[in-house]
Structure 1
Amino acid sequence: MKAVIMAGGKGTRLRPLTSHTPKPMVPLLNRPCMEYTIDLLKKHGITEIAVTLQYLPEAIRNEFGDGSRYGVSLVYFEETTPLGTAGSVKNCADFLDERFIVISGDTLTDIDLSAAVRFHEEKEALATLILTQVETPLEFGVVMTDENGLINRFLEKPTWAEVFSDMVNTGMYVFEPEVLSYIDNDREVDFSKEVFPYFLGEGKPMYGYAAEGYWSDIGSLEIYRQAQFDLLDGKVQLQIKAQEIAPRIFLESHVRIDSSVRLEGPVYIGENVHLQAGVAVGAYSILGSNTVVSSGTKLSQAIVWENTMVGKKTEIAGTTLCRNVQVGESVLLGEGAVIGDNCRLSSKSVVKAGVKIWPDKEIGESATVTTSLIYGTKQSKSLFGTNGIKGIGNVEVTPEFVTRLAASYAYLLRAGSRIALSACSHPFAQLLKHSIMTSLCSSGIDTVDFGIGNSPLMRYGVRSLQCVGGIHVYMAEPAEEKEIVIQFVDHEGLPVSRDMERKIENAYWQETYVRSLHHLGELHVEHQVQEAYLRALTERVDVASIQRQRFRLLIECEPRFMPAFLAPLFHSLGVSVQYGAIQEGVCKHGADLGIRLDKNGEQFALFSEHGEKLSPEQVLALQLLACSGIHNKIGLPVSAPMELEHLAQLLQLEVVRTKVAPRAMMEVASEERFHPMFDAVYSLLRLLSYLAKEEKPLSVLLALLPACHMEKKIVFCPWGSKGKVMRKMLEENKGKLLELVDGIKVYDANGWVLILPDTEDSHVKVISQGATAETAATLASSYAKRIAEYQ
């Protein structure tokens, strides 16, 4: 049996460790990560190994050669252009003439490969994916199997709302050679995105082997450190190639240690290390070959690569130092700091916690470094949430932040692309818009400034002016929280896809910018978008019937922009508007209905002529009524009641059930210029048009709407437990009618329950519908209790 080691990764999330070092060559206890993979294959009798290369290939070739030093035979296959995971394996096709294993060169694992192969044989599988359980499955492919191990659902890098299990794809596979026939030559093809979904759709025998044992994808600096601590603690059943001179104290050969040195296990000390008098090496410290630690220095949880010189009386706590680093006397290095290859830190310098210094930098004497040099710190969570990027104004979202963000976005665009920009009327939002504009233009991107606006206006303008995309900035409500939201839209005016969000995030974290004085973008100001939008709105309603009704409205909205923006529209329709707080009373003003518009013009609350506030389900039903005759297809979220689907069918509206994310609902009818569920003004006008046609007050229409009994609960759930909760929920409800469009929707005789992990907070939403309000409440409470128990 043969194997393929995937060793082409750049390891961008591990920078600066991987600035000069391919990810499989990053050392774990003074040995390249890939060496552990070779040892594991050899342990299971697999010695004929292909190695795929792309990034810094010579570093890997020079280290491992033909493999004879490790008791295996290595054959290298280098990619000149990226081929993806499947394309990389297909590139080795001439070598792979029998059953083979695919394994990553940058993971640490002791999983029993022989057991996985036996499982593969027993199932007569075409492909077997080796699976493991993890706390946070977002960065992996989540997999679900039946009781025989046959894979029946696969989702690559899900959001929390899509997580249906904590069982993930490890990137290790057992394949029959026939798998190669499904992969195109010389093209970028990915197993998770293309090959496995195809196998699933075609019913190919693709199985999942739930493995026991240790597995760690070395995907971040924190995980890189933890993997070595786990090796030292004996959690990984792999050989540590050093002498254990005392419990969990490992030394390689030719180590010189002064008699006054204090060692506190577990520690690992590489070949030719010299520890001078008075050095204290604390627990979980790892010293690479040829390192010298001068007298009086204190180390704790320090990871030091080879050929590093540490000066006297220095303190290193929780820091990672790469190769050939020179640390002066009395230097202080903080927790989580990373020092790149060939750096020089002069005497009495201080590097604060979390700071990352890229290779070949020099820090002056007595200097204090508080921010990363050249590249910034990776964020602790995704930039994007459900509805864009959010943060406290001038604290988390600053002009400096949006400048970097816009430059990251520009890196993904072609020079000369046109990007639309708008912001709400708040001065700080306008300031941020100008920072974004400057950054985009300096990166060679043309900008079109719409001035003051909202998201529906932005979406319309991007489509009308055929821009490549757009960015809208607004101050969210409630205003006292000072939360800024930044929304990105694509060329169709839809929120950008999750794939594009990831690309923006990666470019931001890596600070991959392109700027040149020879290619500056142009700035355009577009004053006509508002007029064009309002004109297009009136084309979608029966103006004459609205004018005949002489509607009176009470509108509560933000005071700076909306009243002036809406004035010409309502004037042309003969609608009288009073602006004020809804609590003053719709009846008091003699209004036909009351509307509370959200600041960004996307959502609204509705009140009848009697002052009765409509439920979200009633508003949704009215929106369906208002869409009839002008829309053919509409996206309804899985959280919407079943009665609305029946109503849509009566109205001859095609309904597509979608995720609750705005993009998912909008892209059902992406060709539409207006999206009723996310354009409050358009929805309001369509509703007025419908009321005028029916010549009935709103309260009469409400009485005709189907009754819906819904209940919503929010259950606290730590991030690390969400995957387990979803898996247990699936296991418990096996055999019931389930829907996995978004979260887990469970149907039973009494109604349905939707279990939806929140993408931004540590909780799970429970939404239920029942035949009665009591049934819905009982269902929601029952599942909320189970979620709490599963944790």
Structure 2
Amino acid sequence: MKAVIMAGGKGTRLRPLTSHTPKPMVPLLNRPCMEYTIDLLKKHGITEIAVTLQYLPDVIRDTFGDGSRYGVSLVYFEETTPLGTAGSVKNCADFLDERFLVISGDTLTDIDLTAAIRFHEQNDALATLILTRVETPLEFGVVMTDERGRITRFLEKPSWAEVFSDTVNTGMYVCEPEVLSYIEEKKEVDFSKEIFPYFLQEQKPLYGYEASGYWSDIGSLEVYRQAQFDLLDGRVNLEIKAQEIAPRIFLENHVRVDSSVRLEGPVYISENVHLQAGVEVGPYTVLGDNTVVSSGSKLSRAIFWENNVIGKKTEITGTTLCRNVRIADCVQTGDGAVIGDNCLIGAKSVVKAGVKIWPDKEVGESAIVTTSLIYGMKQTKNLFGNSGIKGIGNIDITPEFVTRLAAAYAYLQKPGSKIALSACSHPFAQLLKHSIMTSLCSSGIDTVDLGVGNSPLIRYGVRSLACIGGIHVFMNENGDEKEIVLQFIDQKGLPISRDMERKIENAYWQETYVRNLHHLGELHVEHQVQEAYLRALAEQLDVPSIQRQRFHLLIDSETRFFPTFLAPLLHDLGVTVTYGAIQDGISKKKADLGIRLDKNGEAFALFTEEGAKLSTEQLLALQLLACSGRHKRIGLPVSAPAELEHLAQLLQIEVVRTKVAPRAMMEVASDERFHPLFDAVYSLMSILSYLAQEEKPLSVLLELLPACHMERKTVFCPWGAKGKVMRKVLEENKGKLLELMDGIKVYDTNGWVLILPDSEDSHVKVISQGATAETAATLASSYARRIAEYQ
């Protein structure tokens, strides 16, 4: 049997470690990560190995040569353009003339490969995925299997709502040579995105082997450090090639340790290290070849590569040093700091926790480094959440941040592309819009400034002006903290796809910007979009009917934008408006309706002439009634009650069930100029049109709407437990009717319950529907209690 080691990765999230080093070559206890992979293959009798190369290929080739030094035979296949995981393996087709194993060169694992191969043989599988369980499955492919191990569902890099299990694809596959016939040559093809979903669709024998043992994908700086701590703790069943002179204290050859040095395990000290008098080496420290630590210095949880020199009385805590770093006397470095190759840190300087310093930088004497040099912010999680990028104004979301973000976005567009920009009326949102505009233009992208607006307006503007995308900035002023939200729109006026979000995130973290003085973008100002939007909206309404009713509305909204924006439309419709708080009293104001408009124009709350607030389901039913005759197709989320689907069918509106995400619902009818569930002004005017035609007050119409008994609960759940919770929900409900479109929807004789992990907070949402309000409440409480128990 042969193997393919995938060793082409750049490891962008590991920078600055990987600025000059391919990801498979980052050292773990002074040995390249890929060396552990070679040792594992050899241990299981696999010695004929292909290695796929792309990023800095000569570093890998020069290190491992033909493999004879490691007792294996290595053959290299280099890619000039990215081919994807499957395309890389296809590139080795001439070598792979028998069953083969695909394995990554940048993971650390001791999984029993022999057992996985035996499982593959016993099931006559075409391909077998080696699976493991992890706490946070977002960066991996979630896999579900039946009792025999046959794969029934496969989802690559899911959102939290799509996490059905904590069992994930390790990127290790046992394959028959026939697999190669399904992969196109010289084309970017991915196993998890194209090949395995195709096998699943065609019911090919695709299996998953759930392995025990250690597995770590070295995908982040934190995981990189933890993998070495796990090796030192003996959690990985792999050989540590050094002498254990005391419990968990490992020394290689030619180490010089002065008599007054204090070592506290676990530690690993490589060849030709010199620890001078009074040095203290604390737990979880790894020192690479030729390191010199001068007298009086203290190290703890420090990871050093080779050829580093540390001055006197310096304290290195939780810091990673690459190669050839010189740190002068009396320096302090903080937890999570990373210092790249060939850096010089001056005497008495301080490198604060989490700071990353790119290669070849010099920090002056007595400097205090509080922000990263070159890299910028610390990555703690994905930039994008449920509805764009959110953060506290001028703290998380700053002009500097949006400038870099816009440059990353521009990198993904063709020069001369046109991007629409808008912002709410808040001065800081407008300031950020101008920072984005400047950055896009300097990157060769034309911008169209739509002025003050909201999300429905920019969606309309992007389409009507034939832009390839748009960015809207608004300040959410609910609560004490002023939260900025950045929304990205695609050329169809929809929120950008998750795939595009990932591309922007990757470009941002890699800092792949393109700026050229000879190709600057042009700035256009277009402030007529509001008028065009209102004209187009009015064309959708039964204007004479609304005019006859002479509606009086109480509108509760922000005062900077909406009153001026709505005035022309409401005047033409003969609608009288009082602006004020709903609590001022709808009946007191003698209004026909009360409306509380969301600041960004996407959502609203509706109140009857008697002051009763419509429930979520009542408002959705009313919106469906208002769509009748205007919309032929609509997307309803999986969380909506079945009665609304029946109502839509009676209205001859085709319903497509979708995920809860706004994009999923909108793209069902992506050709529509207005999205009735995400455009508050359009939806409100459509409801007025419907009420005018029916000539009945809203309170009377509500009695005719279908009764829906719903309950919603939010259960605290740590990030690390979400995958486990979802797996337990599936296991406990085997045999029941389940729907896995978004979260897990469990059907019961008394109704249904939807378990939906929150993608932004440490919560799981529980939504239920029952025949009665009591049934719905009981269902939701029962599952909320179970979710707490599963943790």
TM-score normalised by the shorter chain: which range applies? over 0.9
Q: Is the 8 A contact 2:150 2:206 kept in 1?
A: yes
Give the secondary structure class of the aligned counterpart of 1:52. Answer: strand
Q: Which secondary structure does the structure 1 equivalent of 2:138 belong to?
A: helix
What's the CA shift for 1:680?
0.6
Please give the residue correspondences for 1:211-360 in structure 2 after superposition, counting only pairs within 5 Å.
211-360=211-360
SS in 1 for 2:55: coil
1:258-311 residue CA offsets vs partner (Å, 9 max, x unmatched): 112111111111111111222111111111111111222111111111111112
State the 1:479 CA deviation. 5.7
Q: How high is the sequence identity, in percent, across the aligned residues?
A: 83
State the partner residue of 1:6.
6
Q: Does 1:500 align with 2:494?
A: no
Q: What secondary structure is seen at the aligned counterpart in 1 of 2:677?
A: helix
Partner of 1:43: 43
Secondary structure in 2 matching 1:625: helix
Q: Which residue of 1 aligns with 2:766?
A: 766
**In structure 2, what is the equivalent of residue 510 of structure 1?**
510
1: distance between equivalents of 2:204 and 2:544? Answer: 60
Query: Residues of 2 paired with 1:137 and 1:762: CA distance?
Result: 14
> What do residues 399-447 of structure 1 show as CA deviations (whole Å, max 9, x unaligned)?
1221121112111111111111111111111111111111111111111
User: For residue 126 of structure 1, what is the aligned residue in structure 2?
Assistant: 126
Counterpart amino acid of 2:185?
N
The amino acid of 1:263's aligned partner reads L
Q: What residue in structure 2 maps to residue 403 of structure 1?
A: 403
Distance 1:132 1:586 in 2: 58
**Is contact 1:376–1:511 with CA below 8 Å preserved after alignment?**
no
| Aligned residue number for residue 429 of structure 2 | 429
* Aligned AA (1:727): R
* CA offsets 1:127-182 (integer angstroms, 9 cap, x no match): 10000000000000000111111111111111111100000000000000010011
Q: Any unmatched runs of 5+ in structure 1?
A: none
Q: Secondary structure at the match of 2:154?
A: strand
Q: Distance in 2 between matches of 1:676 and 1:239?
A: 62
Partners of 1:364 and 1:587 in 2: how far apart? Answer: 70
Q: Secondary structure at the match of 1:536?
A: helix
Aligned counterparts, 1:130-149, within 5 A: 130-149=130-149
The question of whether the paired residues in 2 share the 8 Å contact of 1:3 and 1:102 is answered with: yes
- Residue deviations 1:445-501, cap 9 Å, x none? 111111111100010000000101111111114164311111110001100111111
2:638·2:741 contact (CA, 8 Å) conserved in 1? yes
Following superposition, the deviation at residue 519 of structure 1 comes to 1.5
More deviation, 569-578/711-720: 569-578
Distance 1:582 1:286 in 2: 64
Taking the aligned partners of 1:240 and 1:465, their CA distance within structure 2 comes to 63
Q: Is the contact made by 2:354 and 2:378 (CA closer than 8 Å) also made in structure 1?
A: no
Q: Aligned partners of 2:160 and 2:582: how far apart in 1?
A: 36
Paired with 1:310 and 1:610, the residues of 2 have a C-alpha distance of 76
User: What does the per-residue CA deviation read over 1:710-742, in whole Å, with 9 as the maximum and x for residues that have no partner?
Assistant: 000111111110000000000000110001111
Contact 2:474 2:486 in 1 (8 A): yes
Offset at residue 510 of structure 1 (A): 2.1
Cα distance in 2, alignment partners of residues 137 and 273 from structure 1: 39
Q: What is the TM-score of this pair, normalised by structure 1? A: 0.99
Aligned equivalent of 1:619: 619
Partners of 1:493 and 1:544 in 2: how far apart? 30
Query: CA separation in 2, counterparts of 1:316 and 1:671?
Result: 58
Q: What residue number does 2:713 align with?
A: 713
Matches within 5 A, 1:133-212: 133-212=133-212
**8 Å CA contact 1:473, 1:486 repeated in 2:** yes
1:542-691 → structure 2 map (5 Å cutoff): 542-691=542-691
SS in 2 for 1:384: coil
Instruction: Tell whether the 8 Å contact from 1:408 to 1:511 is kept in structure 2 after alignment.
Output: yes
Asked if structure 2 preserves the Cα contact closer than 8 Å seen for 1:378 and 1:509, the reply is no
What is the distance in 1 between the residues matched to 2:363 and 2:590?
A: 72
Q: Distance in 2 between matches of 1:167 and 1:708?
A: 36
Equivalences, count: 791
Q: Do 2:24 and 2:105's aligned partners in 1 also have CA atoms closer than 8 Å?
A: yes
Task: Give the corresponding residue for 2:87.
Answer: 87
Local SS of the residue matching 1:245: strand
Cα distance, 1:326 vs structure 2 = 1.5
Query: Could you tell me how far apart the structure 1 residues matched to 2:259 and 2:479 are?
Result: 64
- Aligned residue for 2:466, secondary structure, equals coil
Q: CA offset at residue 29 of structure 1?
A: 0.3
Q: CA deviation at 1:312?
A: 1.8
C-alpha contact 1:126 1:178 (8 A) present in aligned 2: yes
The equivalent residue for 1:445 is 445
Structure 1 residue 227 displacement after superposition: 0.3
Aligned amino acid, residue 70 of structure 2: Y
Amino acid of the structure 1 residue aligned with 2:323: R
RMSD across aligned positions (CA): 1.0
Segment of structure 1 superposing worse, 256-265 or 724-733: 256-265
Q: Could you tell me how far 1:105 is from its partner in structure 2?
A: 0.2
The CA distance in 2 between the partners of 1:552 and 1:308, in whole Å, is 76
Amino acid at match of 1:774: E
Q: Which secondary structure does the structure 2 equivalent of 1:386 belong to? A: coil
Deviation at 1:590, TM superposition (A): 2.0
> Does the CA-based 8 Å contact 1:385-1:759 persist in structure 2?
yes
Inter-partner Cα distance in structure 2 for 1:587 and 1:315: 70
Partner of 1:59: 59
- The answer as to whether partners of 2:273 and 2:291 remain within 8 angstroms in 1 is yes
Alignment check: 8 A CA contact 1:329 1:347 kept: yes
What secondary structure sits across from 1:690 in the alignment? helix
In structure 2, C-alpha distance between the alignment counterparts of 1:655 and 1:713, rounded to whole Å: 26
Letter aligned with residue 331 of structure 1: V
> What is the CA deviation profile of residues 571-592 of structure 1, one whole-angstrom value per residue up to 9, with x for unaligned ones?
1111111111111222122222
Deviation string 1:328-386 (CA, Å, 9 cap, x unpaired) is 22222221111111111222222111111111111222222211111123321111111
1:16 and 2:16 are equivalent in the alignment? yes
Letter in 2 for 1:199: F
2-side partners of 1:331 and 1:150: how far apart?
56
- In 2, Cα distance between the equivalents of 1:154 and 1:565? 47
State whether residues 423 and 473 of structure 1, in contact with CA within 8 Å, keep that contact through their aligned partners in structure 2.
Answer: yes
**SS of 1:377 mapped into structure 2:** coil
SS at match of 2:649: helix
Amino acid at match of 1:342: N
Which residue of the partner structure matches residue 112 of structure 2? 112
Contact 2:355 2:378 in 1 (8 A): no
Alignment-mate amino acid for residue 511 of structure 1? E
| TM superposition score normalised by structure 2 | 0.99
**8 Å Cα contact 1:420/1:449 also seen in 2:** yes
Contact kept in structure 2, 1:638 and 1:657, CA below 8 Å? yes
Q: Provide the rounded CA distance (Å) in 1 between the counterparts of 2:333 and 2:557.
A: 52
Alignment correspondent of 1:784: 784
Letter in 2 for 1:581: A
Contact 2:476 2:482 in 1 (8 A): yes
Secondary structure, counterpart of 1:570 in structure 2 = helix
SS of residue paired to 2:631: coil
More deviation, 381-390/12-21: 381-390
Distance 1:33 1:622 in 2: 59
Q: Show structure 1 runs of 4+ deviating over 4 A.
A: none
